[in-house]
């Protein structure tokens, strides 16, 4: 995994913990699940920063309650997506972040930013990719008559929701489901899947030192 320019540090010992940042825009449910998992001494990552593009994001308080440093990079205050992402990248580099997890981060990142973090950034999407990239995944699954739904953890690439799949979790679609009831069931699966998938992804990297 190549080191993104401006991030990372010097030589580290074998068995270290990878420095992970989590980007959020809202309540931070998946972020909290990852941060709680990372409290275990054998978890291969340390959550060193939670960043939101929205100062009002409820997840910032949840992260602070867990003792995780937080920051806000308000996208509306920048003249362009590129300017916003330059500030975001500088913040990550300043905290020596090595890997990034998107957890309800409601910004589509430019190819330039993704390339800088290529191989080091993951996302969780509420469908069984390649089915239903983008929005309204639960309504689309119900409209298609699917018998199961789920979530996918994947590497982030410049093409939205199209990166290599790291892990998936499946849940049944039940009679009478609405997009809301299905979303709740999928979220429950996400909260178990995402911390585990990140651990599996980063464990070889951490062990390599």
Would you put residue 74 in left (φ > 0), alpha (ψ -120 to 50) or beta?
Answer: beta
Please check whether residue 150 is in contact with residue 127, taking contact to mean a CB–CB distance below 8 angstroms.
yes
125 in active site: yes
CA dist 48 and 97 (Å) reads: 7
Place of tokens 């739904």: 149
Is residue 130 reached through a cis peptide bond, with omega within 30 degrees of 0 on the bond before it? Answer: yes
Helix (H) or strand (E) holding 87: helix 81-94
| Calpha distance 170→7 (Å, rounded) | 35
Catalytic-labelled residue, pool 75, 125, 138, 154: 125
Residues known to be catalytic: 125
């Amino acid at each position: 995994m190549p080191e993104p320019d401006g991030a990372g540090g010097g030589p580290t010992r074998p068995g270290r913990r990878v420095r992970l940042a989590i980007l959020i825009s809202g309540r931070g449910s998946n972020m909290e699940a990852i941060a709680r998992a990372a409290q275990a001494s054998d978890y291969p990552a340390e959550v060193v920063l939670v960043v939101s593009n929205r100062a009002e994001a409820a997840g910032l308080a949840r992260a602070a309650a867990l003792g995780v440093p937080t920051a806000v990079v308000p996208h509306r205050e920048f003249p362009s997506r590129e300017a916003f992402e330059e500030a975001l990248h500088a913040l990550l580099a300043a905290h020596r972040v090595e890997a990034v997890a998107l957890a309800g981060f409601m910004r589509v990142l430019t190819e330039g930013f993704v390339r800088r973090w290529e191989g080091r950034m993951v996302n969780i999407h509420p469908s069984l990719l390649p089915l239903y990239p983008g929005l309204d995944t639960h309504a689309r699954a119900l409209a298609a008559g699917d018998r199961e739904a789920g979530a996918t953890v994947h590497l982030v690439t410049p093409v939205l929701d199209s990166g290599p799949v790291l892990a998936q979790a499946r849940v049944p679609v039940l009679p009478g489901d609405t997009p809301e009831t299905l979303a709740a069931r999928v979220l429950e699966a996400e909260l178990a899947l995402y911390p585990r998938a990140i651990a599996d992804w980063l464990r070889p990297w951490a062990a390599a030192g």
